[in-house]
Structures are given as C-alpha cells and as structure tokens.
C-alpha cells in the first residue's frame, strides 16, 4: 500500500524550514549509506546528530502527530528521527531496498523499518527530475509531490530517486515501525478505519453500526499487534 498524505506541514512551516536549510552545512550522503547504498547514493544530508537536524525533525514529528491520516495508515509504534536530504543537479539515488533495522544514534533503540516516508519540502516546479520511483511486482510509480505532502510505502519495496536535471530537491525522510508488522493486515485496518470515519459523518458515534465496526477494528489490532 502506497499512500500520499497532504499538508503535513503548512506554508509558514515550510518557509521557515527552507530558510534554515538554505544556510545549513550539508554533508555527503555516503556517510550514512549502508553497504548496498554506498555504490548508488549521490546526494547531501544534514548531519544526523546536529542541532539543526534535531530541531527540524521535531517540527516534522509535530506535524505527523496532528495528522489522523498518518496515524491510521501507519499505526506507529516507533518513528526513526526524521532526516533531511538535498539532491542537486546530477544527484540521484540508485535502485535499493532500505535496511531492515535502524539504530537511533546515541541510543540502543532499534527501529524495524516497516514503512518508509518521504516528505517533500519544496515545490515540484522548483526542480526538474528527482522523482521517487517505487517498484511494485508488476509496475512502478513515479512520485513528485507538492511541498508539505508526504508519501508512505512499504520498506520492502525497491525504490530509487531519479537524477535531478536542474534545480534542487529538498526532502525529509524517515522510517516507521508499525504496531502491525504485516502489510496486508495493516492495509485492511486502514480501509476499515477509513470506512468507520466515513460512517461517522452520517451517523452519531454511538450508532450501532459505528460501535460494531469500531469494536471490530480495535479487536483486530489486539490480535495482530506486535506489542
């Protein structure tokens, strides 16, 4: 399941973030590349333990916490601290699969990467190329969203960032460990939750059908949760 979520960040937040990134000290993205990625990764990143990265990451996390679609789609247990990257002319990230586990720097906290997320920070007309290409079993999707919008997809899927032809592509990226590890089960729960939310616009919260389906949703989480 690949889901795009709009307006994680508003325009005021985006202007503030971009102004800070414009003055940032970027480092080579290879410094955080795994063994597979080291031969295909060509971009820049904020130093992961820098004060700026931590500050901006907190802004992203606050945006996520206020967005019900994100909670419904991911059922987050752990979120790896958001990171930030920049692709300039000629930069790209070749075909790869994200590492299954990530350790939060300076801690012993491990995050299983069930879901990968890319939050776009500048408008698609500000750069040419740079599409996020996600490969499926039978086809592929190329994604380039408006600033403030985010794409979430299973970390098991191969993906690439196509070369930037001109301009500069800015994004935040991170991983989510879900309470429900199985992608198919999580998709069923998402569809059920969205149906319950839709039903609640037509009936009261104590309507028999709303209560019944809400109970089914909660009981399925109990059965399928890893926690």
How much is the pLDDT for 123? 97
> Residue 33 pLDDT more than 70?
no
Q: Stretch 18-25: mean pLDDT, rounded? A: 96
Which residues neighbour 156 within 8 Å (Cβ) at sequence distance 6 or greater?
A: 97, 183
pLDDT grade for 149, boundaries at 50, 70 and 90: very high
Instruction: Tell whether 98 is in a known binding site.
Output: yes
How much is the pLDDT for 207? 83
How much is the pLDDT for 152? 98
3-state secondary structure 34-95: CCCHHHCEECEECCCCCHHHHHHHHHHHHHHHCCHHHHHHHCEEEECCCEEEEECCCCEEEE
Q: Stretch 22-43: mean pLDDT, rounded? A: 82
Instruction: Pick the more confident residue, 138 or 23.
Output: 23
Provide the Cα torsion 208, 213, 218, 220; round to 10°.
140
Instruction: Tell whether 203 is in a known binding site.
Output: no
pLDDT grade for 117, boundaries at 50, 70 and 90: very high
pLDDT grade for 3, boundaries at 50, 70 and 90: very high
| pLDDT tens-digit map of 86-115 | 999 999 999 999 999 999 999 999 999 999
> Residue 227 pLDDT more than 80?
no
List residues bridging with 86 in a β-sheet.
Answer: 44, 170
How much is the pLDDT for 36? 65
How much is the pLDDT for 32? 72
pLDDT grade for 202, boundaries at 50, 70 and 90: confident
Q: Stretch 71-100: mean pLDDT, rounded? A: 96
CATH classification of 183-224 is 4.10.860, yes or no?
yes
Q: How far is CA 197 from CA 128, 186, 205, in A?
A: 38, 16, 10
Instruction: Tell whether 28 is in a known binding site.
Output: no
Q: Stretch 145-166: mean pLDDT, rounded? A: 97
Q: Stretch 66-79: mean pLDDT, rounded? A: 96
SS3 assignment, position 163? coil
| Largest interatomic CA distance in the chain | 57
Query: Alpha-carbon distance 218 to 203, whole Å?
Result: 19
All structural domains of the chain with their residue ranges = 3-178, 183-224
pLDDT grade for 37, boundaries at 50, 70 and 90: low
Query: Alpha-carbon distance 67 to 60, whole Å?
Result: 11
Q: Stretch 35-58: mean pLDDT, rounded? A: 90
Instruction: Pick the more confident residue, 180 or 139.
Output: 180
- Enclosing H/E stretch for 178: strand 169-178
Query: Alpha-carbon distance 58 to 150, whole Å?
Result: 16
Q: Which class in CATH covers the domain with range 3-178?
A: mainly beta
Exposure of 161 in the CB half-sphere (CA atoms within 13 A):
28
Please provide the average confidence, as pLDDT, over all residues in the chain.
94
Instruction: Tell whether 67 is in a known binding site.
Output: no
pLDDT grade for 34, boundaries at 50, 70 and 90: low
Query: Alpha-carbon distance 62 to 155, whole Å?
Result: 23
């Amino acid at each position: 399941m690949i889901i795009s979520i709009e307006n994680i960040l508003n325009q005021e937040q985006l202007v503030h973030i971009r102004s800070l990134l414009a003055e940032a000290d970027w480092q080579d993205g290879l410094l955080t590349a795994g063994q597979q990625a080291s031969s295909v990764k060509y971009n820049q990143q904020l130093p992961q333990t820098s004060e700026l990265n931590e500050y901006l990451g907190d802004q992203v996390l606050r945006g996520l916490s206020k967005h019900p679609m994100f909670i419904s789609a991911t059922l987050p247990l752990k979120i790896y601290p958001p990171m930030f990257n920049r692709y300039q002319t000629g930069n790209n990230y070749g075909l790869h699969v994200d590492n299954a586990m990530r350790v939060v720097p300076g801690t012993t906290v491990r995050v299983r990467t069930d879901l990968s997320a890319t939050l776009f920070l500048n408008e698609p007309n500000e750069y040419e190329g740079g599409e996020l290409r996600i490969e499926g079993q039978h086809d592929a999707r190329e994604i380039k969203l408006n600033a403030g919008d985010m794409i979430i997809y299973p970390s098991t899927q191969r993906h690439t960032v196509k070369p930037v032809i001109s301009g500069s592509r800015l994004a935040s990226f991170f991983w989510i460990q879900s309470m429900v590890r199985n992608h198919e089960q999580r998709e069923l729960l998402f569809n059920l939750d969205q149906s319950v939310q839709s039903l609640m616009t037509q009936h009261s919260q104590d309507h028999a059908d709303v209560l019944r389906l809400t109970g089914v949703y909660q009981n399925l989480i109990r059965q399928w949760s890893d926690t």
